[in-house]
Chain A
Amino acid sequence: MSGKTKAPTSVLNDAYLRGVFFQLALAAGLVLLFAWLIDNTLTNLENQGKSLGFDFLVRTAGFQISQTFGTWLFDYQVGVSTYLDVYYIGIVNTFLVAILGIVAATVIGFALGIMRLSSNLIFKSFATVYIEVLRNVPLLLQLFFWYFAVLRAMPGKREKLELIPGLVGVNITGLYMPAPVPMDGFSYCVMAFVAAVLITFGVRHYARKRQEATGQTLPVFAISVGIIILLPLLVFVLNGSPLSWSIPEFKETGAILRRGYQPGAGMLLVPEMLAVWLALTLYTAAFIAEIVRAGILAVNKGQTEASYALGLRPNITLRLVVIPQALRVIIPPLTSQYLNLTKNSSLAVAIAYPELVSVFAGTALNQVGKEIEMIFMMMAVYLTFSLLTAAFMNWFNARVKLVER
Chain B
Amino acid sequence: MSKTKTDNAVSFVRTEEAPLLPPPATQAGMIGWLYQNIFASMSDFTSIGAALKSLMVAFLTVVIVYALAMQIVGLVDFAILSAVWSDPEGVKREACWTVEQGGKLPVGWHAACWPFISAKAKFILYGAYPNEALWRVNLTYAVGLIGLVWALTPVLPYRKYVGVALLTLYPVMAVVLLTGGGFGLSAASVGVYTIIGLALISIGRLARARRFGVAAADLSGVFGILGWGFVIFAALLVVLGVDFNLEKVDTRDWGGLLITLVVAITGIVASLPLGILLALGRRSQMPVARFLSTVFIEFWRGVPLITVLFMASVMLPLFMPEGVNFDMLLRALIGVTLFSAAYMAEVVRGGLQAIDMGQYEGADAVGLSYWQSMRLIILPQALTHVIPGIVNTFIGLFKDTSLVSIVGIFDLLGAAQSTLADPAWSTPVQGITGYLVVATIFFIFCFGMSRYSIYMENKLNRGRAH
Query: Known interface pairs A23-B286, A141-B438, A149-B432. Does A382 touch B402 (Cβ–Cβ under 8 Å)?
Result: no
Please report which residues of chain A, range 373-395, place their CB below 8 angstroms from some CB of chain B when the two chains form the complex.
375, 378-379, 382-383, 385-387, 390
Q: B406 on the interface (CB 8 Å rule)?
A: yes
Map CB proximity to B onto A5-32 as digits: 1 under 8 Å, 0 otherwise.
0000011110000010011101100100
B450 touches A44 (CB 8 A): no
Q: How far is the CA of A141 from the CA of B68 in the complex (A)?
A: 22
Residue from A26, A372, A375 in contact with B307 in the complex, judged by beta carbons closer than 8 Å = A375
Query: Known interface pairs A136-B443, A139-B399, A361-B310. Does A122 touch B302 (Cβ–Cβ under 8 Å)?
Result: no
Please report which residues of chain A, range 256-281, place their CB below 8 angstroms from some CB of chain B when the two chains form the complex.
none
Map CB proximity to B onto A335-370 as digits: 1 under 8 Å, 0 otherwise.
000000001101101100000010001000100000
Q: A45 on the interface (CB 8 Å rule)?
A: yes
Give the Cβ gap from A61 to chain B, nearest Cβ, in Å. Answer: 19
Of the listed stretches B16-24, B36-44, B125-133, B149-157, chain A binds B36-44
Q: A37 on the interface (CB 8 Å rule)?
A: yes
- How big is chain A's contact interface, by range? 35 or more
Of the listed stretches A113-121, A161-169, A179-187, A215-223, chain B binds A113-121
B442 touches A120 (CB 8 A): no
Q: B314 on the interface (CB 8 Å rule)?
A: yes
Residue from A41, A145, A379 in contact with B435 in the complex, judged by beta carbons closer than 8 Å = A145
Q: Which residues of B contact A122 (CB under 8 A)?
A: 38, 61, 64-65
Please report the total number of B residues contacting A with Cβ < 8 Å.
Answer: 60
Q: How far is the CA of A126 from the CA of B42 in the complex (A)?
A: 17
Q: How far is the CA of A372 from the CA of B319 in the complex (A)?
A: 10
Give the Cβ gap from A37 to chain B, nearest Cβ, in Å. Answer: 5
Give the Cβ gap from B315 to chain A, nearest Cβ, in Å. Answer: 5
Query: Known interface pairs A123-B60, A382-B303. Does A41 touch B40 (Cβ–Cβ under 8 Å)?
Result: no
Residue of B with least CB distance to A343: B304
A372 touches B315 (CB 8 A): yes
Residue from B288, B310, B413 in contact with A140 in the complex, judged by beta carbons closer than 8 Å = B413
Residue from B40, B216, B301 in contact with A386 in the complex, judged by beta carbons closer than 8 Å = B301
Q: Which residues of A contact B68 (CB under 8 A)?
A: 126, 129
Q: How far is the CA of A37 from the CA of B435 in the complex (A)?
A: 42
Residue of A with least CB distance to B40: A119
A44 touches B322 (CB 8 A): yes
Residue of B with least CB distance to A124: B37
Q: B219 on the interface (CB 8 Å rule)?
A: yes
| Interface-centre pick from A10, A19, A120, A347 (highest chain B CB count, 10 A) | A120
Q: How far is the CA of A317 from the CA of B97 in the complex (A)?
A: 61
Please report which residues of chain B, range 296-351, place their CB below 8 angstroms from some CB of chain A when the two chains form the complex.
298-299, 301-307, 310-311, 314-315, 317-322
Q: Which residues of A contact B310 (CB under 8 A)?
A: 357, 361, 375
Give the Cβ gap from B436 to chain A, nearest Cβ, in Å. Answer: 10
A375 touches B37 (CB 8 A): no
Q: How far is the CA of A375 from the CA of B124 in the complex (A)?
A: 32
B307 touches A379 (CB 8 A): yes
Q: B250 on the interface (CB 8 Å rule)?
A: no
Q: Which residues of A contact B40 (CB under 8 A)?
A: 119-120
Query: Known interface pairs A13-B218, A126-B64, A138-B402. Does A382 touch B41 (Cβ–Cβ under 8 Å)?
Result: no
Query: Known interface pairs A45-B318, A136-B442. Does A344 touch B304 (Cβ–Cβ under 8 Å)?
Result: yes
Q: B285 on the interface (CB 8 Å rule)?
A: yes
Q: Which residues of B contact A11 (CB under 8 A)?
A: 215
Q: A398 on the interface (CB 8 Å rule)?
A: no
Q: A88 on the interface (CB 8 Å rule)?
A: no
Residue from A44, A120, A386 in contact with B298 in the complex, judged by beta carbons closer than 8 Å = A386
A136 touches B288 (CB 8 A): no
A141 touches B402 (CB 8 A): yes
Q: B274 on the interface (CB 8 Å rule)?
A: no
Q: B421 on the interface (CB 8 Å rule)?
A: no
Give the Cβ gap from A147 to chain B, nearest Cβ, in Å. Answer: 11
Q: B403 on the interface (CB 8 Å rule)?
A: yes
A43 touches B447 (CB 8 A): no
Residue from A135, A138, A375 in contact with B400 in the complex, judged by beta carbons closer than 8 Å = A138
Q: A137 on the interface (CB 8 Å rule)?
A: yes
Q: B431 on the interface (CB 8 Å rule)?
A: yes
Q: B57 on the interface (CB 8 Å rule)?
A: yes
Q: A47 on the interface (CB 8 Å rule)?
A: yes
Give the Cβ gap from A372 to chain B, nearest Cβ, in Å. Answer: 6
A120 touches B403 (CB 8 A): no
Q: How far is the CA of A192 from the CA of B374 in the complex (A)?
A: 64
Q: A403 on the interface (CB 8 Å rule)?
A: no
Q: B426 on the interface (CB 8 Å rule)?
A: no
Q: B214 on the interface (CB 8 Å rule)?
A: yes
Q: B289 on the interface (CB 8 Å rule)?
A: yes
Q: A144 on the interface (CB 8 Å rule)?
A: yes
Q: List 12 A-B contacts (CB under 8 A).
A: A23-B288, A26-B288, A120-B41, A122-B64, A137-B442, A138-B442, A140-B406, A141-B438, A346-B304, A372-B315, A379-B302, A386-B302
- Report which B residues bind A (CB closer than 8 A): 36-38, 40-42, 57, 60-61, 64-65, 68, 214-216, 218-219, 285-289, 292, 298-299, 301-307, 310-311, 314-315, 317-322, 395, 399-400, 402-403, 405-406, 413, 431-432, 435, 438-439, 442-443, 446-447, 450
11 additional A-B pairs beyond A361-B310, A385-B302, beta carbons within 8 Å, are A19-B285, A26-B292, A40-B321, A41-B318, A41-B319, A121-B38, A136-B450, A141-B439, A149-B435, A346-B307, A347-B403
- Report which A residues bind B (CB closer than 8 A): 10-13, 19, 22-24, 26-27, 30, 37, 40-41, 43-45, 47, 118-123, 126, 129, 132-133, 135-141, 144-145, 148-149, 343-344, 346-347, 349-350, 357, 361, 365, 371-372, 375, 378-379, 382-383, 385-387, 390
